[in-house]
Structure 1
Amino acid sequence: MSPEFLLTSLIIVASPGTGALYTIAAGLTRGSQASVVAAFACTLGIVPHLLAAMVGLAAVLHASALAFAIVKYAGVAYLLFMAWQTLREHGALSVEAKADPRSAWRVLRDGVAINVLNPKLSIFFVAFLPQFIAAGEAAPLARMLELSAVFMAMTFIVFALYGLFAAAMRDKVVSRPAVMAWLRRGFAGAFVALGAKLAVTER
């Protein structure tokens, strides 16, 4: 495993984005267990992109402007939906004193959807990973799976750390309604900003 791959992957994973934002919100408003579920969900959302790259669908997404646009704007719409839900206190920043299986399922569902609808992940597997697979690699598919597993492990660990840190601050935040109100607006604004950034993203 090359140090260049590990360093670049860590930078990509640790950079603030929709997954990190969602995991932090889950930990801040639902606690440590929800933050780990959110981190797992965002990691699970990478799998469809990996499978797409393995069967060549990601290459089609990379080459086809229409296919890329469809997935991109679906992602934008979902981010705007998350922003709206957050402002209504039914989304990422809904505070629940006692979590139940339904809330855990919602955290999992939303976390997976956030990354599934991120076309840049498919492009990542098409444009980034192949750089670390030698042209004469005897088993390129196995190598791709190995690199992808490392990337996903990094994603889960970094996101879980973000979420657990947020969960540790939970009691200091949720007991202050004014702070929660500003956080809702801030997170909703961040979802809108990320949606706008995705909307102007080119292949």
Structure 2
Amino acid sequence: MSVEFLLTSLVVVATPGTGVLYTVAAGLSRGTRASLVAAAGCTLGIVPHVTAAITGLAALLHTSALAFRILTYLGVAYLLYLAWSTLRDRDELAVATDAAPRSAAKVILSGILVNILNPKLTIFFVAFLPQFVRPGDPVARMVELSAVFMVLTFVVFAGYGAFAAAVRHKVLARPRIMAWVRRTFAAAFVALSAKLAFSGG
């Protein structure tokens, strides 16, 4: 396994983005288990990008401006939805022992959507992965590299989520801090959506 691939992948995964933000929010709101489920959902959201890259759909998105912009705007819309729901749902980031926990299926589905609607991942798998694919069995090599990327994603995201879960009671027990946390998350989602919309994809 190339050291360059591992280091670059680690930087890409560890750089805070929508997946990290979503996993941290899960850790703050529901604890360690929810953050692990969210990390798993975000990791599963990589699978469609891998499949697209292997089947050549990613190349189509890369060359078709219209298809790529559609995917980009879907991502923007979903980030704005996350911002709105974060501000609207007062229980989303609250410690409530008597509240029914959000189902794992919903957490995973949201995590999958976060990464499915992230066109940056498609570009990553189109522009970066092929540099490490040697002649012979490119499909097997691409699957191997993608699996490593997914493992790194889960481990790093789980670490972010575990840290958030560890400090959740100290943060969320203070209403004023809680209000600012909610606003910060909403603002971050809006900022990420703006960056996605105006970065040209």
Report TM bin, short chain.
over 0.9
Q: Percent identity?
A: 65
Shift of 1:94: 5.4
Q: Quickly say closer, same or farther: Cα 1:91–1:117, change in 2 above 3 A.
A: farther
User: Cα deviations across residues 160-180 of structure 1 (Å, max 9, x unaligned)?
Assistant: 000000000011012111111
SS of 1:112 mapped into structure 2: helix
5+ residue gaps, structure 1: none
Query: Can you list the C-alpha shifts for 1:29-58, whole angstroms capped at 9, x where unaligned?
Result: 110000000000000000001101111110
CA separation in 2, counterparts of 1:101 and 1:175? Answer: 18
The answer (yes or no) to whether the contact 2:18–2:189 under 8 Å persists in 1 is yes
1:34 & 1:105 partners in 2: Cα distance?
11
Q: How does 1:124-139 map to 2 (within 5 A)?
A: 124-134=124-134, 137-139=135-137
Task: Map 1:48-127 to 2 at 5 A.
Answer: 48-89=48-89, 93=93, 95-97=95-97, 100=100, 102-127=102-127
Residue-by-residue CA offset, 1:130-159 (whole Å, 9 max, x unaligned): 01112xx21110000000000000000000
When the two structures are aligned, how many residues end up with a matched partner?
201
Q: Deviations over 1:9-36 (max 9, x none)?
A: 0000000100001101100111000000
Preserved CA contact (<8 Å) 2:95 2:169: no
The answer on 1:158 being equivalent to 2:189 is no
**Root-mean-square deviation (Å):** 1.6
Instruction: With the length of structure 2 as denominator, give the TM-score of the two structures.
Output: 0.95
* Runs of 4+ off more than 6 Å: none
Instruction: Identify unmatched segments of 5+ residues in structure 2.
Output: none
Following TM superposition, by how much is the alpha carbon of 1:200 offset from its aligned partner in structure 2, in angstroms? Answer: 1.4
Separation in 2, partners of 1:87, 1:165: 23
Determine the C-alpha separation between the residues in 1 that align with 2:9 and 2:123.
Answer: 14
For 1:98 and 1:35, locate their aligned partners in 2 and report how far apart those are by CA, in whole Å.
Answer: 19
Quick one: distance in 2 between partners of 1:91 and 1:146? 40
